[in-house]
Structure 1
Amino acid sequence: MTAAPTLPANFDPTDPSLCEERIPLQEFLELRKTAPVYWVEQAPEARAGFNDTGFWAISKHADIAAVSKNSKDFSANENGVIIRFAADMTREQVELQSVMLVNQDPPDHTKTRQIISRGFTPRAIGALHEVLVERANKIVDDALAKGEGDFVFEVAAELPLQAIADLLGVPMEDRRKLFDWSNQMLAYDDPEYDAQPDVAAAEILGYAMALAEERAKDPKDDIISKLVTADVDGHKLGDDEFGYFVILLAVAGNETTRNAITHGMNAFFENPDQWELWKRERPSTMVDEVIRWATPVTVFQRTALNDVEIGGQPIKKGDRVGLYYASGNHDEQVFENPDKFDILRDPNPHLAFGGHGAHYCIGANLARLEVEVIFNVIADRMPNIVKTGEPRRLRHAWINGIKELPVKYA
């Protein structure tokens, strides 16, 4: 029998003030040992949009993977996958997001994913390699010309933004709009930003629908044309579905990869032996270790559709469960020395792409390519990069974000 955890009675791993300071890995370690399925009672302002008082925090790798693969008993659609919204979020606003791929259940999810996957085939992603290398070199050129600056804004954010712009056929001069809109959508808990997430979402929707209308009339060789003209079993993306897909891509494809690259660079700063190893040997295992280490999305949730058990703990129909990927990615039963940044780690069955069920990240191969390309170019072109100050973390409940990392490029 395991001992009861010694955590504070009000411990909530989605507390943005805690996550602004650090990801609570020590607390997750204790939970994995003493209460791997742990009830979190949320303060009223933390459960806006939900009709309950809290959720079950799932901290073990095996349990997270099992729930991720079980669409029969666990729903992404019932309450969405976001575990903590802005304090003024309404139930109606939560339900409006059900059209997004990440919040869908089979069979709707299956049909939508079949359409969207046409833009993310290995051939489509492979075709981006050469242009991404070219863009990465230009990004590094511009950074070197400045001498020093903010790695997040000038390097880490740029390649994912430009890749999304290329995929969507968005003019390069508009990529910063996507950057600003996605920041606005996610920064509702950080007082440094005057965030208006509803306004930003409406801006992206309007922009996306205009692009979709244009491509429907005049198709081109880009993902928009494929999505608005595709038809799978009589189903194709409507205007609102396409708009929400662009929101998902702007957030998931921009914020997550940006943060993976930033956390990876900071991990190399903190582990110079690993940086020397990367410059010297370029092991293919580097990419997944950076992504494991960063775990840009720390948690998504599911809602139980039936009375079930997780790790021996009864879960009632309607209960929410938080899948803590950040904890699973440091599970000592799966990863040897999980708190060590080791770019030779192999195997590396991390959960940073959302487990291996139906909701496995559709853009995983693109993210891996972007991480590989940018660190290759940084190692080649500015191998002596150093940080000049500590990273500043984003105040956020479920994004492991860094909003500034001061560096000297050469």
Structure 2
Amino acid sequence: MGTEIPGQSSPRPAARAAQADLSDPAFWQLPRPARLAAFAELRRRDRPVLFGDRPGFYALVRHADVMEASRRPRDFASAPGVTTPEPAAWAKAVFGNSMVNMDGEEHAAMRRIVARSFTPRLLAATEDNVREVARRIVDEMLERRPEDFVPSVASRMPFEVICDLMGIPQRHRDEIAARVDQASASVGVRRGLRARLRMPGRGLRALAHMQLVMAGLARERRRRPTGDLISALVCADVDGQSLNSRQLGAFFSLLLVAGVETTRNAIAHGLSLLSEHPEQRALLEADFASHADGAVDEIVRHSTPIIQFRRTVAAECELGGRSYRPGEKVVLFYASANRDEAVFENPDVFDITRNPNPHLGYGGGGPHYCLGSHLARQEMKALFHELLTRPRGLRAVGLPGLVDSSFDNRVGSLRFAFEPS
């Protein structure tokens, strides 16, 4: 059995939870136990609750509702966008539309091209590379002894793996990493007016720069394929289709969020959870091969790196005891679904032996289930194997520095300490 997290096992702020407004940025500045208590109270309601001024959105907070909506794309569409604010039409025209905002055949065609580009040879090379990247990062950690786990370890692992997979030359990586930070800096909700006005422009400039880099690499790989993912995507012939430069740029931007940001946050939460629960860490260290998969799934369930995605009602339908009309919005709260008492026994307990563990950390199934879930698991297992077997006494120092956000469970910083083996 696992252990309970202080302050999360029996949430007390029921009165506050009963009046919580999920559309108010102030809600996302509450302590995490208070937010989890609000979700628990909402799960006890007989139907999804409407938040915000009309059109507002209906909050899907139960595991069954989130999973069903994910698997009914004809009723609950990803277009025009799954995030807030929705991407403008001109931005899609200039930068390309992300797969997460597509439906139907448009989405299926893109997914076929991407899926078939992951050839057995590429996947085998990637698996070997993941282990090598993990060893190299821990080598440098032992040598340099950094104090913040996020930039020195957690961020580097998925970023380097994705860049290696895509075939991004070293000369571009520092600049791309800086642009990613610029593009994602607006994720928090504690921003003043000046920052709110400045960040969209900075984010668009960062996106434009990455698009230019990818367009140049696409031209190079069409002329001289090198066996990496960019080469496979731009030279693919899936029903006569391949990715153009704009589509490639949009796909790379998606990888940086879905493949880097989420895995980075899961890794950081993982170290914090294993440090806070030494008996769970002892289980993992005693038999890593037997418990690694369970540990990764429980870290993802417990931390839920992506808090929510939005859907637009495309047809008159019913779900969760409520009827919906076309054009209305629903929000799939994975952070709540992964704590649903109807599915998970003692959901606030961190238990790497939890079985079954049908978490929705990679989505609720359906056509938008995360393509990179297998790679993310590989990265986490390879890195934690290195971290738990090479340095001595590796541990988080203090609580993680969380960034207030309604979109992702982001760790901004995490102090840590260790002794060389």
- TM-score, shorter chain, exceeding 0.5: yes
Q: Given the superposition, is the C-alpha separation of residues 276 and 160 from structure 1 closer, same or farther in structure 2, using an over 3 Å criterion? A: same
1:7 CA drift (Å): 4.0
| Paired AA for residue 401 in structure 1 | R
Structure 1 unpaired stretches of 5+: 43-51
| Paired AA for residue 112 in structure 1 | M
Q: TM-score, normalised by structure 2?
A: 0.87
Q: Given the alignment of the two structures, is residue 350 of structure 1 paired with residue 359 of structure 2, yes or no?
A: yes
Name the Cα RMSD after superposition: 2.4
Q: Given the alignment of the two structures, is residue 256 of structure 1 paired with residue 285 of structure 2, yes or no?
A: no
Q: Given the superposition, is the C-alpha separation of residues 400 and 172 from structure 1 closer, same or farther in structure 2, using an over 3 Å criterion? A: same
Q: Secondary structure at the match of 2:147?
A: strand
Query: Does the 8 Å CA contact 1:161/1:178 hold for their aligned counterparts?
Result: no
- Matching residue within 215, 238, 243 for 2:249: 243
| Paired AA for residue 61 in structure 2 | S
Q: Distance in 1 between matches of 2:187 and 2:139?
A: 34
Q: Distance in 1 between matches of 2:44 and 2:96?
A: 35
Q: Given the superposition, is the C-alpha separation of residues 328 and 126 from structure 1 closer, same or farther in structure 2, using an over 3 Å criterion? A: farther
Match of 1:175 in 2: 173
Q: Secondary structure at the match of 1:322?
A: strand
Match of 1:67 in 2: 69
Q: Given the alignment of the two structures, is residue 165 of structure 1 paired with residue 167 of structure 2, yes or no?
A: no
Q: Given the alignment of the two structures, is residue 301 of structure 1 paired with residue 299 of structure 2, yes or no?
A: no
Q: Secondary structure at the match of 1:128?
A: helix
Query: Does the 8 Å CA contact 1:382/1:409 hold for their aligned counterparts?
Result: yes
- Matching residue within 12, 16, 38 for 2:49: 38
1:174 CA drift (Å): 3.0
- Matching residue within 25, 28, 53 for 1:18: 28
Q: Distance in 2 between matches of 1:91 and 1:39?
A: 27
Structure 2 unpaired stretches of 5+: 1-13
Q: Given the superposition, is the C-alpha separation of residues 333 and 84 from structure 1 closer, same or farther in structure 2, using an over 3 Å criterion? A: farther
| Paired AA for residue 175 in structure 1 | R
1:94 CA drift (Å): 6.9
Q: Given the superposition, is the C-alpha separation of residues 128 and 165 from structure 1 closer, same or farther in structure 2, using an over 3 Å criterion? A: same
| Paired AA for residue 63 in structure 1 | D
Q: Distance in 1 between matches of 2:260 and 2:25?
A: 23
Question: More displaced, 122-131 or 139-148?
Answer: 122-131
**Superposition map of 1:72-83 within 5 A:** 72-77=74-79, 79-83=80-84
Q: Secondary structure at the match of 1:296?
A: coil
Match of 1:185 in 2: 183
Q: Distance in 1 between matches of 2:60 and 2:92?
A: 22
Query: Does the 8 Å CA contact 1:286/1:343 hold for their aligned counterparts?
Result: yes
Q: Distance in 2 between matches of 1:71 and 1:153?
A: 37
Q: Secondary structure at the match of 1:333?
A: coil
| Paired AA for residue 235 in structure 1 | Q
Match of 2:219 in 1: 213
Q: Distance in 1 between matches of 2:379 and 2:256?
A: 15
Q: Distance in 1 between matches of 2:216 and 2:94?
A: 20
| Paired AA for residue 174 in structure 2 | R
Q: Given the superposition, is the C-alpha separation of residues 403 and 15 from structure 1 closer, same or farther in structure 2, using an over 3 Å criterion? A: same
Q: Secondary structure at the match of 2:57?
A: strand
CA displacement 1:302-326 (0-9 Å, x = unmatched): 1011111111111111111100111
1:100 CA drift (Å): 1.1
Q: Given the superposition, is the C-alpha separation of residues 28 and 94 from structure 1 closer, same or farther in structure 2, using an over 3 Å criterion? A: farther
Q: Secondary structure at the match of 1:232?
A: coil
Q: Given the superposition, is the C-alpha separation of residues 19 and 383 from structure 1 closer, same or farther in structure 2, using an over 3 Å criterion? A: farther
- Identity across matched positions, percent: 36
| Paired AA for residue 56 in structure 1 | Y
1:276 CA drift (Å): 1.2
CA displacement 1:288-312 (0-9 Å, x = unmatched): 1111122111101110111111111
Query: Does the 8 Å CA contact 1:74/1:304 hold for their aligned counterparts?
Result: yes
Q: Distance in 2 between matches of 1:20 and 1:185?
A: 25
Match of 1:45 in 2: none
- Matching residue within 18, 39, 54 for 1:28: 39
Q: Distance in 1 between matches of 2:30 and 2:153?
A: 22
Q: Secondary structure at the match of 1:186?
A: helix
**Superposition map of 1:2-401 within 5 A:** 7=17, 9=19, 11-12=21-22, 15=25, 18=28, 21-22=31-32, 24-41=35-52, 53-77=55-79, 79-84=80-85, 92-93=90-91, 99-120=97-118, 124-190=122-188, 191=191, 195=199, 196-282=202-288, 283=291, 284-401=293-410
Q: Given the superposition, is the C-alpha separation of residues 357 and 16 from structure 1 closer, same or farther in structure 2, using an over 3 Å criterion? A: farther
Q: Distance in 1 between matches of 2:171 and 2:374?
A: 25
Query: Does the 8 Å CA contact 1:97/1:103 hold for their aligned counterparts?
Result: no
Count of residues in correspondence between the two structures: 394
Q: Secondary structure at the match of 1:214?
A: helix
Q: Distance in 2 between matches of 1:295 and 1:101?
A: 21
Q: Given the superposition, is the C-alpha separation of residues 260 and 369 from structure 1 closer, same or farther in structure 2, using an over 3 Å criterion? A: same
1:265 CA drift (Å): 0.8
Query: Does the 8 Å CA contact 2:17/2:39 hold for their aligned counterparts?
Result: no
Query: Does the 8 Å CA contact 2:146/2:152 hold for their aligned counterparts?
Result: no
